[in-house]
Amino acid sequence: MQSLHISASALRSIQYALDTTGNNLANLDTVGYKRRDASFSELLFDSMNEQPYNDRQNRTTPPGLRIGSGVRLGETRLDLSQGSMKTTDVPTDLMIEGSGFFLVRRMDNPQEYVFTRSGAFQLMQNTSGTFSLVNASGDKLVREDGFEVELDIDPSDKITISGDGRIMVNGVETDQRIPVWHIPNPEQYQQIGENEYLLTLPDGVNTPNQVLGFLNYENPLYPPVQDNLKVSSRIRQGALEMSNVNLQQEMARLVTVQRAYQLNARAIGISDQMMGIANSLRSR
């Protein structure tokens, strides 16, 4: 029975790993996608120490016989390594060189912020006549104070965005600036699809710049305990960061996981045969 439990738990965990690898492959060409890597944890195990003394002589392993209960999916770690660059020469396409994220405000719920690495933005005209930068979901890119970027421009104007986020229209600098936000631990936030992660602000905090710093310039409102944060990222205009999925690595991982699945499926079949033999012997 123990072998059945071990193999069954392994099959469940390996299925999650297959789904993770399949999701990585499906997002091979997704802008700003960050791959995930499945890792496993061992379930409860028992140690049988009632062994003859001779069996413990000249051993390099701990005494006793270790009997496990299988494995489970421990976590799916987010790989934040830099993806490849795709030059588009579109003025509203932005790429982050380094760490950090863009922050956008939800269109359907202005009280919610989400962060993303996808910089495929477009100009959308507001009811006031100004223009905002929005992504494919309609979420608006926010500036350093947590409010939407608003440009009083004509669609034919030339927009230039510097590495530190300053926006210039026809060579004249505006009062709008695009920060690269520092998210200390992105894995703790909920992934809501479209390469976006939901940012929940603490109670009593109204704007994200009160708790988060910038990576492309200094933030005077950032908490003093984090004031050693250095400028380490820049914005590149006219380019997009593609997925950091490596096709060769994912295919090799897929083959390895499939072999592990086959091995455990065969182990279940052999265990079933052994139980059948044992039952037939007891019935005689």
Same domain, 190 and 106: yes
Choice between 116 and 64, residue whose per-residue pLDDT is larger: 116
Same domain, 62 and 195: no
Same domain, 61 and 90: no
Asked whether residue 274 carries a pLDDT value surpassing 60, the answer given is: yes
Q: How many domains in the chain?
A: 2
3-class DSSP state for residue 102? strand
Same domain, 34 and 122: no
Residue 224 has what pLDDT? 45
As a whole number, mean pLDDT of residues 142-147 equals 90
Choice between 228 and 81, residue whose per-residue pLDDT is larger: 81
> What is the span of the domain harbouring residue 265?
2-80+245-282
Residue 46 has what pLDDT? 67
Residue 47, strand partner residues: 66
Same domain, 111 and 201: yes
User: Distance between CA 172 and CA 185 in Å, rounded?
Assistant: 37
pLDDT in tens, 155-176: 889 999 999 999 999 999 999 9
- Tell me the backbone φ, ψ of residue 66, rounded to 5 degrees: -90, 125
Burial track 91-109 (b if 16+ CB lie within 10 A, e otherwise): ebbbbbbebbbbbbbbeee
pLDDT in tens, 63-85: 666 676 777 787 788 899 999 99
Same domain, 70 and 94: no
Choice between 172 and 39, residue whose per-residue pLDDT is larger: 172
Q: What percent of the chain has pLDDT over 70?
A: 86
Same domain, 27 and 118: no
Residue 254 has what pLDDT? 92
Same domain, 143 and 263: no
Residue 82 has what pLDDT? 93
Candidate ranges 73-77, 123-127, 210-214; pick with highest mean pLDDT: 123-127
Same domain, 234 and 96: yes
Same domain, 213 and 138: yes
Asked whether residue 47 carries a pLDDT value surpassing 80, the answer given is: no
Same domain, 170 and 198: yes
What average pLDDT is seen over the chain?
85
Residue 95, strand partner residues: 236
131 pLDDT band, cuts 50/70/90, is very high
Same domain, 190 and 209: yes
